[in-house]
Structure 1
Amino acid sequence: MLLRSRFRGWRRTRPFWAGALLVLAGAELLVVPLSPVTVLVSLGLGGLAALGIGLALIAAGLFLWFLPSARHYVSVNALILSVLSFAATNLGGFLVGTGLGIAGSAMGFGWVPRRTPPGGGKALAVALLPVLLVTAPPSAGRAEAAGRAPAAAVPPSVTATRFAPRGFTLAGVGDVPTADGPLKVLVLRMRAAELSDYRLTTHNGRGELSLAARSLELRGQVTLYLTRFRGCLEGVLCLTFSPDALPVPPVVPPFVFMTEVTAEQALVTADVIRADGLGLRALPGV
Structure 2
Amino acid sequence: MRFGWLDERLPLPDARRTLRGWRRTRPFWAGLFLLLGGVELLVVPLSPLTILVSLGLGGIAAIGIGLALAVAGLFLWFLPHTRHYVSINALILSVLSFAATNLGGFLIGMALGITGSAMGFAWTPHEEAGPRVAGVRTQRTLAAALPVALLVTLGGRPAEQPSEPRGITAPAVPPTVTTTRFSPHGFLLAGVTTVPTARGPRKAMVLRMTSASLTDYRLHTRDGHDELALGARSLDLKGRVTLYLTKFSGCLEGLLCVTFDPDTLPVPPVVPPFVFMTDVTAEQALVTSDSITANGLTLGAS
Distance 1:248 1:182 in 2: 19
What is the CA–CA distance in structure 2 between the aligned matches of 1:148 and 1:129, rounded to whole Å?
Answer: 34
Deviations along 1:157-181, whole A, 9 cap, x unmatched? 0011111111111222111111211
Asked if the contact 2:191/2:268 (under 8 Å) is kept, the reply is no
Give, as a single letter, the amino acid of the residue that structure 2 aligns with 1:63.
L
1:269 aligns with 2:288: yes
Q: What does residue 141 of structure 1 align with?
A: 163
Aligned counterparts of 1:220 and 1:190: Cα–Cα separation in 2: 8
- Tell me how many residue pairs correspond in the alignment: 192
CA offsets 1:101-147 (integer angstroms, 9 cap, x no match): xxxxxxxxxxxxxxxxxxxxxxxxx998645x24x23xx322xx1x2
2:277 aligned with 1:258, yes or no? Answer: yes
The question of 1:183 aligning with 2:202 is answered yes
Separation in 1, partners of 2:178, 2:234: 12
* Kept in 1: contact 2:210–2:239 (CA 8 A): yes
Following TM superposition, the consecutive aligned residue runs of length 4 or more in structure 1 with deviations greater than 4 angstroms are: 19-22, 29-32, 58-62, 126-131
The residue type equivalent to 1:28 in the other structure is L
**SS of corresponding position for 1:207:** coil
Q: Which one of the candidate residues 74, 77, 89 is aligned to 1:28? A: 74
Q: Report the equivalent of 1:158.
A: 177
- Superimposed CA distance per residue, residues 230-272 of structure 1 (whole angstroms, 9 cap, x where no aligned partner): 1112222111111111159724378621111110000001110
Equivalent residue number for residue 298 of structure 2? 279
Could you tell me which amino acid in structure 2 is paired with residue 141 of structure 1? S
Identify unmatched segments of 5+ residues in structure 2.
Answer: 1-36, 43-65, 106-151
State the secondary structure of the residue aligned to 1:155: coil
User: CA separation in 1, counterparts of 2:226 and 2:286?
Assistant: 20
Distance (Å, rounded) in 2 between the aligned partners of 1:188 and 1:170: 5
Q: Which has the larger radius of gyration?
A: 2
Equivalents in 2 of 1:282, 1:226: separation in Å?
A: 23
Q: Tell me the distance in 2 between the aligned counterparts of 1:184 and 1:248.
A: 13
Matches within 5 A, 1:104-115: none
- The 1:31–1:165 alpha-carbon spacing in structure 2 relative to 1, beyond 3 Å, is same
TM-score for the superposition, normalised by structure 1: 0.57
Structure 2 residue 98 is the aligned partner of structure 1 residue 68: yes
Aligned to 2:224: 205
Deviation at 1:188?
Answer: 1.3
Counterpart for residue 20 of structure 2? none
TM-score when scaled to structure 2?
0.54
Once the two structures are TM-superposed, the CA of residue 69 in structure 1 deviates from its matched residue by 3.7
**Paired letter, 2:238:** R
**Backbone CA RMSD of aligned residues:** 3.6
Indicate the SS of the match to 2:222. Answer: strand
Structure 2 CA distance for aligned equivalents of residues 153 and 247 of structure 1: 25
Q: Does 1:224 align with 2:224?
A: no
